[in-house]
A and B are shown apart, each in its own frame.
Chain A
Amino acid sequence: MSFVWTIAEQYDGHLKAVSFELLSRGRALADKLETKLASVLIGDGVTEEQMEELIRHGADEVYSVQDPRLARFVCESYSNVLSHLIKTYRPSIILAAATSTGRTLMPHVAVRVHTGLTADCTELDIEEGTGNLLQTRPAIGGNIMATIKTPDHRPQMATVRPKSSRPLPEDPSRTGKIIAVPVDDAHIDTRITVTGYRTDVEDFVNIEEAEMVAAGGRGMKKAENFALLRGIAEEFSGVVGASRDAVDRGWIGYPHQIGLSGKTISPRLYIGAGISGSIQHLAGIKTSETIVSINTDPEASLHKVADFGIVGDLFEVLPELKRRLAERNRTEDPRQEANR
């Protein structure tokens, strides 16, 4: 019996990176509790080899619930399946990703199984003595850190932001069990139909799962200047983000927006250029691992929360930074050279 579960996510039969990130969180908790860690995979077309990868990254067991009718995320069906698994196997802790799927599925399940759920935890720990899960999350725009527990209900459930933890290195010696769970027809909800996906959206970005984000604000002055940020992002295999100001001016699309009315991100590196750093924007970037700020105004709030700030003109700093990074990346990898 496994006491700690993580919810693996898949798209189109491929496991998503968050599935592995969650395992490193789950492994730490399972080890502390001296219990097993299982990954729950609901979907379709995920191969045994891929599930073995979950085991090599920390899982002891994989519950695989696969069916063509579960290929695409439909909250009601996934909720029926997961609620049933919970009632059958009674895990103590469940961790899910704070993705569009996790943030939809988990509150739906919490109601069904009558338990608590804490969103967007940045820290998870086990309370001495009780063995309760301590769930710490930023709230009120990141102004406070609240530690929350679910003392009297099980499972204890939490979501964790993508990129806020790194997967464990692959351990080829790890072994585990893959348990195929048959799908009960009664769990498939046919009310909603997924008619398709629109994935060829121009300038679309999955900003929450990016390792690096180069963001621009009002100081970018116009839409065309975002090319400077694209140039920087490219050198880190990152993506471009924006403040609300820049989005509201129509310089870049809403999927790029960071902050209270946009996305909250936790990349390894965030570079903000021409962003003053409103409370709303800072709330969206506070959990980034490294923050770099570029702004002509020495008093800009972003400089105050930055790990490294440059008081200077972004139109001079960004091209110089791009030139230097491109030069380094060219000498790093001759294959890149051949591609240019």
Chain B
Amino acid sequence: MDIIVPIKQVPETSNVKMDPETGTMLRAGVETVVNPLDLYAIETAIRLKELHGGTVTAVTMGPPPAEKALREAIAMGCDTGVLISDRKFGGADTWATSYTIAQAIRAIGPYDLIIAGERATDGDTAQVGPGIASWLDIPLATYVAAITAVEPGSSGTGSSSAPDASGALIVERLVEEGYQILKVPMPALLTVVKEIASPRLPTLRGKKRAKATELPLYNTENMDLDPAFLGLKGSPTKVVKIATPRVTRGGTVVHAGDEEGVVTAVDQLIAFLESRGLVPAAGASTGGRP
């Protein structure tokens, strides 16, 4: 089973600076890590490879330093990585990003599965995974919490040219009502949630291998791209304003202290909830609960 894992490099701290002109993030001088939610996608891919053979390729789009994220993925157990990087990709929104990554995946060649994290912790949109599936016109299952069965295709494991020869997965999606159970033919794109697996740590051997791995660079020179779909210019959405929201609400803080203090504090809390209409006023007999 050949698997592609799109990952994102995100700032580690929340002290991120924004460019007031373009409304995009200033990445200089900020520690970066692999998006924590992508680690579950990487882990899922490695486990599938361990069970069914094949390869795992991590791909990331970003400025050249984003290759660090690919090396971290390889250190965990991915076979290789592809860096999608070009100045012309800068400032892309989720629409342009999903287009560019989808074109890179087409260029990588046949695959059985794409596994992405649920969303990135910086942009927090969860839009790029579904966007890639839409561009590639392959079946999409989001919020996958478990892969309960892998049904082999007619051509067995490994890459396959005929799409229906790739087999199918039985997956469980975490939805509002519980879990939706789907049969998804491959090739397909899954986005996975934390419940699916516990990510392993990189090994020393993996780190050594990661250091030695050559990472191919995909850019506007060697990819088939519509220039009108790239970067800030190719993005349908535009950031028009960035504001820093107030951090504190200036709320009341009371000290409970001893047993008597607890009763007083709870008194005050209930009076506060009452003032906000979150519990009915004392003595009111409207029936029903808040």
Chains A and B are bound partners: yes
B-contacting residues of A (Cβ < 8 Å)? Answer: 11, 16, 72-73, 75-76, 79, 99-101, 103-112, 114-120, 134, 138-153, 189, 191-201, 204, 206, 208-209, 212, 235-237, 254-255, 257, 260-262, 264, 268-269, 279-280, 286, 290-292, 298, 303-313, 316-317, 320-321, 324-325, 328-329, 331-333, 335-336
A266: min CB distance to chain B, Å: 14
In the bound assembly, the distance between CA atoms of A146 and B241 in angstroms comes to: 6
Report how many residues on chain B are interfacial, defined by Cβ distance under 8 Å: 95
Contact of A194 among B126, B181, B195 (CB under 8 A): B181
B197: min CB distance to chain A, Å: 12
A-B contact pairs, 7 of them (CB 8 A): A100-B174, A111-B134, A119-B124, A145-B242, A255-B174, A313-B262, A321-B270
Q: Which residues of B contact A255 (CB under 8 A)?
A: 174, 195
Structural contact, A116 and B284, CB atoms closer than 8 A: no
Contact pattern, B 36-73, Cβ under 8 Å of A = 1, otherwise 0: 11000000000000000000000000000000000000
B143: min CB distance to chain A, Å: 5
Structural contact, B261 and A145, CB atoms closer than 8 A: no
Contact of A311 among B16, B18, B253 (CB under 8 A): B253
Q: 8 additional contacts, CB 8 Å, given A262-B194, A312-B261?
A: A76-B139, A111-B134, A141-B122, A146-B23, A147-B240, A261-B121, A305-B248, A308-B268
Structural contact, A99 and B239, CB atoms closer than 8 A: no
Contact of B270 among A112, A142, A324 (CB under 8 A): A324
Q: Between A and B, how many residue pairs show CB distances below 8 Å?
A: 294
Nearest residue (CB) in B for A287 is B245
B25: min CB distance to chain A, Å: 8
Structural contact, B185 and A191, CB atoms closer than 8 A: yes
In the bound assembly, the distance between CA atoms of A311 and B289 in angstroms comes to: 28
B263 on the interface (CB 8 Å rule)?
Answer: yes
Majority secondary structure, A binding face: mixed
B168: min CB distance to chain A, Å: 9
A-contacting residues of B (Cβ < 8 Å)? Answer: 11, 14, 16, 18, 23, 25, 36-37, 93-95, 98-99, 121-131, 133-135, 139-143, 145, 170, 172-185, 193-195, 235-245, 247-249, 251-257, 259, 261-263, 265-266, 268-270, 272-273, 276, 278-280, 282, 284-290
Q: Which residues of B contact A198 (CB under 8 A)?
A: 172, 178-179, 181
Nearest residue (CB) in B for A73 is B180
Q: Which residues of A contact B259 (CB under 8 A)?
A: 316
Best-surrounded residue of A197, A208, A264 (most CB of chain B within 10 A): A197
Structural contact, A261 and B37, CB atoms closer than 8 A: yes
A21: min CB distance to chain B, Å: 14
Contact of B179 among A104, A150, A197, A328 (CB under 8 A): A197
Q: Which residues of B contact A195 (CB under 8 A)?
A: 170, 181-183
Structural contact, A320 and B185, CB atoms closer than 8 A: no
